[in-house]
């Protein structure tokens, strides 16, 4: 089972679409592939700096061409989030995200720690998508489409998260020190926060992770999302 690969697919789809509802409206994974391929053909204007592996690295991880799946830092979780900021907010967003991630502990590749953090990122995305109520059939279908032909263990993990309690405090408690930004950013990726329930979820998660209000707003800005706080 590779939770990292699943986290890459889910995060890329949500980042490109800017939320689960936008993902559905964009035509699902086929629509996202077309959008990313179009951005790449236009010179990667929405890509991240080369130090993160950029759009080419993210496309490569989904088998969309461009190679570079392990180039730069795109194979790391921090590099993934930097590249996703490039997809969502262009080079400015990628630069902001890189600055935020400078305080994140580097996760050794292909280790138990990487799988642990990847699992937390997936939990954060699914809980954020469910924050305004139980996940509906359309959202469930979206998540299952994103993970595609995963092995039974991966599918079981996702299905378990769809029915597990939405508990941002527990999610924060389970997050190892040094990985707070990765987990919070994953939650932001999955939604376009526009209602009180989502705002309360993100606020509770941020406080549990001991993230400051300006730091939270900077994460939202880097991902092309509205700020959570007025500061």
**How would DSSP label each residue in 28-78?**
HHHHHHHHHHHHHHTTSTTPPPGGGTHHHHHHHHTT-SS--TTSTTTTSHH
Residue 107 pLDDT: 72
Task: Quote the pTM value.
Answer: 0.73
Residue with more model confidence, 73 or 172: 172
In the chain, the percentage of residues whose pLDDT exceeds 70 is 57
Residue 216 pLDDT: 95
Q: Are 91 and 99 in contact (CB under 8 A)?
A: no
Residue 101 pLDDT: 65
Q: Are 59 and 40 in contact (CB under 8 A)?
A: yes
Q: Using one digit for the tens of pLDDT, what is the confidence trace for 108-158?
A: 667 888 889 989 999 999 999 899 887 767 767 777 777 777 788 888 898
Name the one residue in this structure whose structure tokens are 């939650």: 187
Q: Are 223 and 84 in contact (CB under 8 A)?
A: yes
Domain locations in the chain?
Answer: 3-222
Q: How confident is the model at residue 193 (pLDDT cuts 50, 70, 90)?
A: confident
Lowest-confidence range among 15-24, 97-106, 157-166? Answer: 15-24
Mean per-residue pLDDT, 197-212: 96
Question: For residues 60-79, b (16+ Cβ closer than 10 Å) or e, as one string?
Answer: bbbebebebbebbbbbbbbb
Q: What are phi and psi for residue 185, nearest 5 degrees?
A: -60, -35
Mean per-residue pLDDT, 43-62: 43
Residue 65 pLDDT: 39
Q: Are 122 and 10 in contact (CB under 8 A)?
A: yes
């Amino acid at each position: 089972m590779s939770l990292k690969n699943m986290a890459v697919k889910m995060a890329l789809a949500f980042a490109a679409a800017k939320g689960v509802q936008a993902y559905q409206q964009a035509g699902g994974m086929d629509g996202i592939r077309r959008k990313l391929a179009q951005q790449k053909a236009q010179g990667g204007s929405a890509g991240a700096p080369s130090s993160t592996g950029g759009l080419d690295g993210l496309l490569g991880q989904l088998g969309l061409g461009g190679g570079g799946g392990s180039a730069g830092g795109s194979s790391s979780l921090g590099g993934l989030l930097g590249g996703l900021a490039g997809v969502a907010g262009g080079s400015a967003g990628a630069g902001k995200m890189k600055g935020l991630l400078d305080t994140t502990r580097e996760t050794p590749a292909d280790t138990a720690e990487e799988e642990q953090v990847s699992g937390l990122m997936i939990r954060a995305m699914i809980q954020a998508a469910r924050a305004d109520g139980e996940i509906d059939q359309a959202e469930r279908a979206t998540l299952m489409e994103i993970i595609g032909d995963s092995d039974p263990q991966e599918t079981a993990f996702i299905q378990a998260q769809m029915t597990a309690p939405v508990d941002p405090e527990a999610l924060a408690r389970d997050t190892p020190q040094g990985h707070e930004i990765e987990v919070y950013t994953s939650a932001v990726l999955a939604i376009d926060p526009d209602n009180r329930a989502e705002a309360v979820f993100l606020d509770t998660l941020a406080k549990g992770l001991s993230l400051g209000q300006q730091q939270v707003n900077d994460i939202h800005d880097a991902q092309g999302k509205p700020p959570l706080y007025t500061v």
